[in-house]
Chains A and B, each alone.
Chain A
């Protein structure tokens, strides 16, 4: 399953870091962050609980870039 989220982040490199952090989160099959459109596309693994996975993604993103937001 794929979902798109609006995000807020200030710099392009931070967006790259968010992408990496999201990819490394368990339950996420793949993720891309589009800095210019301020969007995150997340592809979830089969049977993953979207809500809890996204909470984890947000936590991991905050770890790599304090000044970011994902609008869940």
Chain B
């Protein structure tokens, strides 16, 4: 699990079929104080996290395959919680 901040989003119309129609956000890993601690990565957002929201991300690919209903999806990162 990764604690991260939503810093942007990406739009794609050509990609793996499981990714089309998903909301893709660009996130920066943060520490407990909210300070950036790593390089940005992309994640699927099914929860509607707003800009600069602190989120909880799973890197469990098999969980995300269930979310996108595709057993052949290569997607790993997915927002599974929004931090209060």
Chain B associates with chain A? no
